[in-house]
Amino acid sequence: MQVFFGDPRRYPLPACALTIGNFDGVHLGHQKMLQRLRLEADARGLPTALLTFEPHPREFFARDNPPGRLSTLRDKLVFLQRLGLVDYVFVYRFNRGFAGMSALDFIDKVLVQGLQTKYLLIGDDFQFGAKRQGHFEMLSSCPHFVTEAMPTVLAMGERASSTLVRERLAAGDLGGAESLLGREYQISGRVVHGKKLGRTIGFPTANIHLPHLRPALQGVFVVQAETADGVLGGVASLGLNPTVSDTPDYKLEVHLFDFAGDLYGQRLTVRFLKKLRDEARYDDLSALIAQIEKDAASAKTYLTSLQREQA
């Protein structure tokens, strides 16, 4: 899978079978769509291509109240690579200029001139162009490519969508989110320096850099983290950490059990297994420490039972 950034007209690539979307989370609906794209591309002797946007358009238009992001761009590309269904990914910068591009210009400059689209597969609710004036009928009338709409994909009787995954995560329903994603929910990021308060109270934490304004879930969780030293169990806090912080920045802090090494600069993938509780503010540090001890004990009990089930 090759990844390209910017205007696709800069790259002399062959005609393709294309799909377009944010693909946030790369959930089961996205996966079914890419399977369909591959079948149609193979039947036409074309490579598959995916056009996506960064930042998420809803982040661009709702900067003061953005939706929770399910996956970073890096994670999205990793998920797509693992599927093995996409030959080319084009990441288009979503900025004011792109947001103001008319639907007809998008078809001509991006789909026809840039990507040489011969087959286009879109979601049944896809809209595009300035003021969302573009729609399926406009695309299907274009003589340069064949356009088809992907039927709704159901997961456990509900329409598989990024919005539904966000709702499940916000409610702490990790099992429900997993059924829509086809895998455990995860966040990856690089370990950065924090206040180092955890080590002074007996619970050192790895602070994971979060590139987006708002995560899709909050609270205290049982987790497993993929590190250079293997997969380690732990307990994680994801939120604003109101007891010791008064900034509006969200933080992912992970305490790993039976680990005493240096993780700074490493990229960790944190898999969320179970929600223990919501985030809370405590009157003093001793109350916070007592709660962390309870959280750690609960997490260890859960991980032990999980190991027994898998044995």
In b/e form, how buried is each residue of 283-297, taking b as 16+ CB within 10 angstroms?
A: eeeeebeeebeebbe
Characterise 143 by phi-psi region: left (phi > 0), alpha (psi -120 to 50), beta (else): alpha
> Which ranges of the chain would DSSP assign to H, the alpha helix?
28-44, 57-61, 73-83, 96-99, 103-105, 136-140, 162-170, 174-181, 197-200, 285-310
- The region of weakest confidence among 42-46, 145-149, 261-265, 296-300 is 261-265
**Could you read off the pLDDT of 224-251 as tens digits, one per residue?**
999 888 899 999 999 876 555 555 678 8
**pTM for the whole structure:** 0.88
Label residue 199 by pLDDT band (50, 70, 90): low
Mean per-residue pLDDT, 17-34: 95
pLDDT mean across residues, the chain: 87
Which amino acid, 142? C
**Could you read off the pLDDT of 68-107 as tens digits, one per residue?**
889 999 999 999 999 999 999 999 988 888 888 899 999 9
Label residue 200 by pLDDT band (50, 70, 90): low
- In 3D space, the residue among 52, 50, 29 whose CA is nearest the CA of residue 41 turns out to be 50
How many CB atoms are located within 10 Å of the residue 274 CB? 16
Q: How far is CA 304 from CA 149, 173, 270, 276, 292, in A?
A: 46, 21, 18, 15, 18
Residues in a beta bridge with 93: 54
Highest mean pLDDT among 64-78, 172-186, 259-273: 172-186
Q: Which residues contact 167 (CB under 8 A, 6 or more apart)?
A: none
Label residue 181 by pLDDT band (50, 70, 90): very high
